[in-house]
Amino acid sequence: MNKRNTLINFAVIAGILVVLNLISLNLFHRFDFSKEKKFTLSDSSKKIVGNLEDNLIIKAYFSKNLPNQYADLGRYVRDILSDYQTYSKGHLKYDFINPNDEDVLKEEAIRNKIQPAQIQMLENDKMEVREVFMGMYIEYQGNGESIPLIQVKDGLENDITGIIKRLSRAEMDKVALFTNPDDDEIDYQSIKYILGKNYDMISTDLTTPIEAGVKTLVLGGVKDSLATEQLYNIDQFVMQGGNLLIFQDRVTMDVQKGEADEIHSNIFDLLSSWKIDIAPTLVVDENCGQISVSQRQGPFITQIPVRYPLIPVVNTMNKENLIVTKLENLVLLGASDLNIEMDSTSTVNFTPLFTSSNRSGSLKGPLYGISFRTFQNNSFNNMLKEPFKILSGLYEGSFKSYFAYRQEASRPDFKPESTGSKIIVVTDSDFINDKGAGKQPNNMNFVLNATDYLIGDTSSLEIRSRSFTISKLDVRQWLLKRGVDATDLDSVEKRTKLITKSLNIVLPSLLMIVFGFIYTLIRKRKSEKIRRLYE
């Protein structure tokens, strides 16, 4: 081949390779072979970052030389940001900054709402407190939001995606929350805040039909009957395919007074028509929270904590259901039994979500007897002989309208039956009330998971339920497992590390030399053999 042809040939090959690389930029596939697929972004994250129209800047403020327990975190953040960048079509840029390098950077981090954390760590054989930064600031079109402190990998993707979603004003799903302006015992600030991060929150008093586009209605429970119009609007919302997340007491309690009363409301008629039956009981559970009670000790009155079985602390989750599988320690305040009314002809499927423990019981009306003194004598143990009680469940399927045989059925847009609606019931309204147990982080996570499920955003649910195991290397633990005496542990650990380190340095080189020696020997013998053949 002459020079010209060769060069043309080279140019053609180079051209093909460039085109191939250009095509691969847009037409690519990623396979995640890591354990727990920790570098696979959820579809919703990919979609949100892929729809960015302008440049989004992420500044990750991470100090160097973080303590061991956080050492892997900085790298994970870098990895996940690189994955976001991959799907951003060039619109996402990220920068890693060590604010400890310069005062200007430290000021910038603080200005961007990343506060330094004080971490105690062993340095030069003594405990020292170090100021470290582990946060990020996300900026888009002049607006910004921060994650002030990142301490765990779990849930980070959810946080980042949530912020990008809000900043880019991506179309958010609508969630309506029923608020009764006359009820001053209710405060929904926490769930409004947590749901508002991911959803477009709308308040409704149910006097008018629920706004078009709303996919889920959160009903914080009622203590009285609703107006027929309000009931009708709930019913038709469900009939038209809307989903319901309801936190409804069957019995109200006043712990201070030690009194409890059954709620008489038409909401139970509506729920009953959908085969949802909340029993007029109060569940007591051995696994429970505490209340403070006043006790006279001499001339003084002191507050002492006592266990109160009407505050079940729930850890028995349906492990097969994504909504609750990773949750624990949900706190309820005066919950009731959820009776299952399903039969083989039912068009609705029921899945229990969580229950009380296997040492439970029920208090029945009309008096209930909820005074803490009731639970301080030995007879209380007899109350806990019943198995678990269902406190929350998921109903899915086709529901029939409560108004099917009433005069409202003649309205022009009336729908007699729903197809594919979902209802989640928790038998306690204090579960989401800030004046009850609503501020409990685990309760909030349940609300978020349940809403994601009802909206159909299972990928967000999966991100949140994902947890990462740490690949630990611990010689001490390894020695303990092999029954090394605890008194010798320090010296044995030192010795084991020294031997391991020495082997790691010397052995590969030694093996290489042995390999070379054997190879040369074999070659020599072969040459000798050939030489002898020709002699």
Partner 1 sequence: MNNIKSILKKELNSYLVSPATYIVLVIFLLITGWYFNSTVFVIGQAEMRSLFSTLPILFLFFIPAITMGMIAKEKNTGTIEILTTLPIQDSQIVLGKFLAALILMGVTLLFTVIHLITIVRFGENIDYGSIFWGYIGLLLVSATYCAIGVFGSSLHSNQIVAFIISFVLVFFFFIIEVILVIFPGPLAEFFQYLSFNYHFSNLQRGVVDTRDIIYFGSMIILFLKGATISLESRKWN
- Applying CB under 8 A, the residues found at the interface with partner 1 are 1-3, 6-7, 10, 13-14, 17, 20-21, 24-25, 28-35, 39, 68, 71-72, 75, 79, 82, 86, 90, 469-475, 477-478, 497, 500-501, 503-509, 511-513, 516, 519-520, 523
Q: Do residues 52 and 89 make contact, with C-beta atoms less than 8 angstroms apart?
A: yes
Let me know how long the chain is. 535
Residue nearer to partner 1 on the CB measure, 39 or 372: 39
191 CB contacts (<8 Å, ≥6 apart)?
A: 177, 218, 432, 438, 444, 447
Residue nearer to partner 1 on the CB measure, 35 or 319: 35
H or E element at residue 296: strand 288-297
Residue nearer to partner 1 on the CB measure, 57 or 291: 57
Collapsing DSSP to helix, strand or coil, 160 comes out as: helix
Burial category of 412 from C-beta neighbours within 10 Å (exposed 0-12, middle 13-18, buried 19 and up): exposed
Residue nearer to partner 1 on the CB measure, 340 or 518: 518
Collapsing DSSP to helix, strand or coil, 261 comes out as: strand
| Sign of the four-CA dihedral 314, 318, 322, 323 | negative
Residue nearer to partner 1 on the CB measure, 409 or 513: 513
CB of 122 to partner 1, least distance (A): 12
Residue nearer to partner 1 on the CB measure, 21 or 344: 21
CB of 485 to partner 1, least distance (A): 19
Q: Do residues 401 and 417 make contact, with C-beta atoms less than 8 angstroms apart?
A: yes
CB of 219 to partner 1, least distance (A): 42
| CA-atom Rg of the chain in angstroms | 32
CB of 513 to partner 1, least distance (A): 7
CB of 279 to partner 1, least distance (A): 44
CB of 108 to partner 1, least distance (A): 16
CB of 153 to partner 1, least distance (A): 13
Q: Do residues 440 and 331 make contact, with C-beta atoms less than 8 angstroms apart?
A: yes
Q: What does the alpha-carbon distance between residue 367 and residue 526 come to, in Å, rounded to a whole number?
A: 101
Residue nearer to partner 1 on the CB measure, 20 or 127: 20
Collapsing DSSP to helix, strand or coil, 464 comes out as: helix
Range list of β-strands (E), 43-173: 56-62, 92-97, 117-123, 126-132, 134-140, 143-147
Q: Is the peptide bond preceding residue 352 cis, with omega within 30 degrees of 0?
A: no
Q: What does the alpha-carbon distance between residue 353 and residue 498 come to, in Å, rounded to a whole number?
A: 52
CB of 484 to partner 1, least distance (A): 13
Q: What does the alpha-carbon distance between residue 58 and residue 88 come to, in Å, rounded to a whole number?
A: 12
Q: What does the alpha-carbon distance between residue 223 and residue 187 come to, in Å, rounded to a whole number?
A: 15
CB of 280 to partner 1, least distance (A): 49
Residue nearer to partner 1 on the CB measure, 33 or 300: 33
Residue nearer to partner 1 on the CB measure, 17 or 342: 17
Residue nearer to partner 1 on the CB measure, 152 or 367: 152
CB of 457 to partner 1, least distance (A): 24
